[in-house]
């Protein structure tokens, strides 16, 4: 009788073990497929970060101010505004992510460029780089002279889903609104 109970206990253990292993056992093929999918996802993420980094660098060479998503917030009036940093000054906001991680990989891996301020001297020079910013929300054009550049309408048409605004009270087109330009602190 003891033998029968012991034998049935063995059968239960092997059946449980067999079912337990079948849930956790993966074939090499499954592992390689999962690894390949993860590698593709990382490659897409890295490519987007690299493209954004080069676009932001080119825009900054043109004298354009670029603000990332952690530096701006959607205001009550429906427009983005700068967040104050830890020191209380605008334009000095700090990412919530660990600094060592952002410094190691780069800010473009974790945040997207959201708001851009550029002058009207040559706004169309910035257009190819603005198109490379997929999550761009607003473009502010600072008018430096009294002449309106009708390329601003083209800028609005070329950037669907992006709000193009003209600053300093001169409105060139009914599709473009007027806002006040915040100053970036040094």
Per-residue model confidence as pLDDT tens digits over 80-133: 777 777 777 776 677 777 888 888 888 888 888 888 888 766 777 888 999 899
Neighbours of 35 (CB within 10 A): 10
Q: Looking at residue 22, what is its pLDDT?
A: 52
Judged by average pLDDT, the poorest of 8-22, 69-83, 107-121 is: 8-22
Q: Looking at residue 181, what is its pLDDT?
A: 40
**Rounded distance between C-alpha atoms, residue 157 and residue 80, angstroms:** 20
What's the predicted TM-score (pTM) here? 0.67
Residue 40 — very low, low, confident or very high, per pLDDT cuts 50/70/90?
very high
> Looking at per-residue confidence, does 114 or 143 come out higher?
114
> Looking at per-residue confidence, does 76 or 55 come out higher?
55
Q: ∠ at Cα 170 (79, 131), nearest 5°?
A: 55
């Amino acid at each position: 009788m003891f033998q029968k109970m012991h034998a049935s206990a063995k059968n239960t253990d092997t059946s449980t073990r067999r079912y337990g292993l079948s849930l956790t056992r993966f074939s090499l093929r499954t592992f390689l497929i999962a690894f390949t999918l993860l590698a593709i996802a990382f490659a897409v993420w890295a490519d987007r970060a690299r493209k954004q980094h080069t676009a932001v660098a080119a825009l900054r060479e043109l004298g354009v101010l670029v603000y990332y998503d952690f530096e701006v917030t959607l205001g009550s009036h429906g427009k983005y505004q700068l967040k104050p940093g830890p020191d209380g000054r605008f334009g000095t906001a700090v990412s919530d992510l660990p600094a060592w991680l952002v410094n190691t990989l780069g800010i473009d891996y974790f945040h997207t460029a959201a708001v851009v301020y550029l002058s009207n001297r040559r706004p169309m020079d910035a257009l190819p780089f603005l198109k490379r910013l997929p999550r761009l929300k607003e473009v502010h054009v600072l008018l430096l002279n009294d002449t309106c550049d009708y390329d601003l309408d083209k800028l609005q048409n070329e950037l669907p889903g992006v709000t193009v605004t003209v600053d300093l009270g001169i409105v060139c087109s009914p599709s473009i609104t007027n806002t006040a330009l915040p100053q970036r602190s040094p």
